[in-house]
Structures are given as structure tokens and as C-alpha cells.
Structure 1
Amino acid sequence: MRILQIITLCELGGAQSVVVNLANSLSKDHEVIVAAGEGDGKMWKMLNTNVQKVSVKHLKRSLSLISDVQTGLSLIKLYREYKPDIIHLHSSKIGVLGRLVFPKSKVVYTVHGVDSIRVAYRKYLPIERMLQTRCKAIVGVSSYDVHYLKEEKITYNVCLVYNGILKPVILESNPFNFCSQYKRKILCIARLSPQTNLELFLKVASLLPQYAFIWIGNQHEVVEENLQNVFFMGNIPNAGAYTNYADLFILTSNYEGLPMVILEAMSYGKPVVASNVGGISEIVVNGENGYVVENVAEAFVEKIKYILEHDEVNKSFSEKAIQRFNEDLTVEKMVEGYMEIYKQ
């Protein structure tokens, strides 16, 4: 098959990780083209050399009549040039434009976190409802997403495929030697945005000064005054591999789909303490491989201390994390799920 994967932004992020993992895996047996719009371009570096890469110059996240019309024309040209058998759209902006332009019989649309539409950008819900029949399948990445898509009257051919990853390549040396004076290292990988709730992360860190709190994924220098035990490392490739050198993974989000960063942490057997949002509770099970909690600093602190101060608990959570990852969250499982949809 000739498969065209399209995403709005070409920077590093959870949805981009899905595209990269899908494209690289599918390219072993199929012809794969990846197209994307604005961003820092770091996603391109993660794709295999046999994946064709196409930059859609006018594709932007923000609304712009001129840019969106130009993008539509570019998509038509792209379709005529490659004549793909499958067109897989990722993220809401290209999900709208792609469904308007491409033949619906070839289109699969993945919603990477229904709350990005249902909560953060609710004013666009009528457009999602109107376009739901302009594709062959709408994919949620968690049961939570599938449930709330249907609650919002988006019911046409909705199905579930959990995200999956390849275990990140191990780094040659410990990247956290700069904070070796701290008893434990707690890692968060996320972009800086209202969604990822930096304020809560800093509050938790302030209550646990004996631990180092490390944030990877900030797109710019954090200029506000921070605590001595908080470190920002920027937006770096292969960030998931850094999880191997942390003692625990934390995510303080206001909303999520099924975060790839948590899958990466589980692949290395790291306990997780995360916000009880989106589909996180489907893979982080309280008392088994971590905890999901309300977005209150004290709730995070209680669970972090319990895991890190009880060696047997920590060991058990680590084993259960790896087991769950191997059973359900590998890239092979994800590809298998999407291939079933593609074949239909």
C-alpha cells in the first residue's frame, strides 16, 4: 500500500511520535509518505530514510483563511502526485482540512486526545460533528476518548487504537550527573503550555526539596524564578531515553489523550504519578504501576514519597510497568490495530 500520514506540526510531541513510529514501522512493507506543516522540523530527523518527507508550507495550527486555502490547494496537489491508498490525518487542524479535500473513502482520522477539542477548543466541536462522515474511521487513542467522542455526538465509525512505541535507545552516559547531589530524580517530559501545568509541577517540587525535578521539552528558556531543585533541559531529541536515568516519572497535565511519554517511562519500568485526566488511568493503575491523582500538589507529594521511600513498592511497580507495556503498548500492537482499519 501507499500510505500518506499527515500532521499539522513538524516539531516533537506526542502525536508526532505516533506518526514517526507508524511511518517507520509501516515503511518496512509499504510505501510511506509523511507530510507536515509549521514547526521546528525536529520530527523529520526521527523518520527513517526510506520514508518520503513533504513539507506543506502553508499548513499552520492557527486559523487563517488565506493560509488554509493555500493548504487546501497544496493537499490537492499532494494527492494528485502520490495517489495514496490510505490517507491518515493526525490532529484537529489537518483533520478538518484533510477531510474537506481528500476522498472520504481513503481517510482515517486520529483524535490525539478528545479533550483538546471537548475542553480546550470546544467552539470547534460543531465542525467535528459536521465532518465526522467525511472519513472511513475516527480513531480514539483511549477508551476515554472513544467514550467522550460519542458523548459529544461524534459516533460515525469511531474505534480505539492505543498508542504504542519502540523502547527508546539507551543513552551512552547518565545525562543527570549535574544533579547527582539529590537523593532521587523525578522527570517530566512535556512542552510548556497551559495544558501541561508548570505551576503545579513547581509546587510539587517545592514540597519535596530533597529530590531533583527535571523538565524536558521546554521550547524556550524559563526565565521566571525557580527552585534550586528544578532543572529545565530544553526540547531535545530522543527525550524518552532520559527516563532510564530517572527514579520516577511525573505528568501534571490539565488534559491528555494517551501520553507517549508515559509509555516511554513504563518501557523502562519507571513508576508513574500523573494527573487523572484522559486515558492515563487506563494504563497507570493505582497501586500497581503508579498512581493517577487529582491536580493538587499534596496528592502528588503523598504518592511520590510513598513509592520512592518504600523499596519493595518501587520494585513491584517497576515490574508491573514493564509487563503492561510489553502486553499492550508496543509499536507492534499499535501498527496491528491501524492495519486492521487500513485493510477495511
Structure 2
Amino acid sequence: MKFLDQAKINLKAGNGGSGSASFRREKFVEFGGPDGGDGGDGGSVMFEAERNLNTLIDYRYSQHFKAENGKPGSKKNKTGANGKDLILKVPVGTQIYEEDNNTIIYDFKKDKEKYLVASGGKGGLGNVRFKSSTNRAPRKKTNGKNGEEFWIWLQLKIIADVGIIGLPNAGKSSLLAALTRAKPKIANYPFTTINPNLGVTYYNNKEVTLADIPGLVEGAHKGIGLGDKFLRHIERCKMLIHLVDVTENNLTENYQKIRSELKSYDLSLAKKKEVIYFNKSDLVEKNELKEKLDLFNSKIRKKYKIISVFKKDDVQSIKKALITNVNK
């Protein structure tokens, strides 16, 4: 399934049905009087959050959505049927913005949450409504009101417990595949992942949702590389796994690049709980690894763990750490 985290769409609620200007026509009834019914109300457009969705791809190729119009009133004082409401499904974590893509209208945080965006027009009045003691046969009736119409933006911020971050080719997708049943594209070149991937890991009957965020590069907050397009997906994560490729030469510099990108985008991201893992330990000699870590320790005073995603014991210890940290 293709991933899409932003879409611009047009919503049009249904128009109200027209009232009827009808008169009672019956044998032996000389002055039947008015019997025109009211028009039905137009359908409204609403959104509903759905936890089984994780992309806005449904709104990529179809941009115009219209609810049903109300039916017109008819003779014998019959009111027209109301138009059917249009319910559009979006993933949990979707935000609705006005056309300027800046003013937030609503934020979906729970499954099955509903929000009405465009209200349907009221139905028109039939001529029965205008009958009075002085006007026994009114020909007046009103048309239904127009339904509301808007252009809006949908933006998806993935809701995951843990975000996996790091430079391109650090092994983020491999870690996600090892911890969960997700099947992200994995290859030995930078930017293999160009869209976030989601997975769920289980340990001791508890579950944690993970998001593999595409590789960040220096200047990402300014739009370099894949830009800051995916930094917003980290905003809702409870904690971060910072994956560093231990086969690279300068571990300190690589670590600090990502940290500075997080700070530049939003200070709150840099304050999130972070667990550092040095990955690909199976590809480095022990002496070389010790030298690199000594250099890292001299500049950055933070706890870290050395792992290989291909070692089962390492994967189990990561699962245990995630469950412990997320459920605190």
C-alpha cells in the first residue's frame, strides 16, 4: 500500500430539497386548499477516525466529495427524504486544516471519533406553511438552502509509541523487521525507506507500536534530503530509538547531526526520551569498536547499547527495554 500523509480535498454538503406548491385535487372537493410538503434536509459531510488505516492514499486521486441532496416535497403534504450523510474514513492521528494549511480545525486522536465538517442545507417550506386566515390558497413556497462547501487539508501524524530515527542506512528498517512482523523494503543503500513504516511488537502480553522514520540528513529541517516531511511523525511518539551505524568513522558527529535536526525542527522532539543503540556490531572488529566507543564516550555522556539486529538475544533485550520504557 502506498503511503500518503497529506491531501487537499473539496467537501460539499447536500443542498436542501425545495418545498412544494401543490393543491389538493379530489373529486367532489371544490376548494381542496394547499397540500405541498416541505423539502428534505441535505446530507452533511463528516469524518470518522479508523485505527485500521495508516495512509491518506484514498484522497490522492479523488479530491471532490459530495453528500446527497435532500429530496423535494410533494403533494398530500409529503415531506421530501433527507439526503444521506457522507462519512469519510481517515487514520487515527489525522488533522484537518483550513485551506491555508495552517489553521487547525480538528485532530483525531481516538478510534471511531467523529467530526462534522460541512453541514447540509435545510429543506425548503411547502405552501401549506404559508396558509393563513387571509390567504387560503398560497402559491408561495421556498427553495432549500445550499449545503456548506470547503477546501480543506488533511495531514497525518503517525501515532506510534516508539519512533526509530537515525541517518540513512543505519539499519532502521532491519530493526523494525526484526522486532515486528512488518516487511519494510531493506537494501544496502541510503534512502531505501522513503515513507514511514509501522509495526507492532509483543513482549509479556504487552504490545508497543513502532514507526520506522525515513533517514534524516543534515539540514533536513530546511528541506534537504527527504526534508522535514517526516519529522512531524516523531511528534507523537512517547520515546525514540536512536540508531547509529557503528561501521561509520565518526560516531559522535553522526549522533549529533540527528540531535541538532530534532532541535532545529522542534525543541520538544529533542526533549523526548531517547535510547541509543549502536547497530551492525557484527561487522566491526572488537579493537576497532572499542576505539570508536572510547572517542564517543569522551564527548557524549549518555548511556548506549551495542547490538546487531541479526542476534536474537539483542532483539529480545530491545523488546524488553521498549515495553519497560513505554509503559512507565
TM-score bracket for this pair, using the shorter chain length: under 0.3
Richer in strand (by share): 2
Higher Cα Rg, which structure: 2
TM-score normalized by the length of structure 1: 0.27
TM-score normalized by the length of structure 2: 0.28
Richer in helix (by share): 1
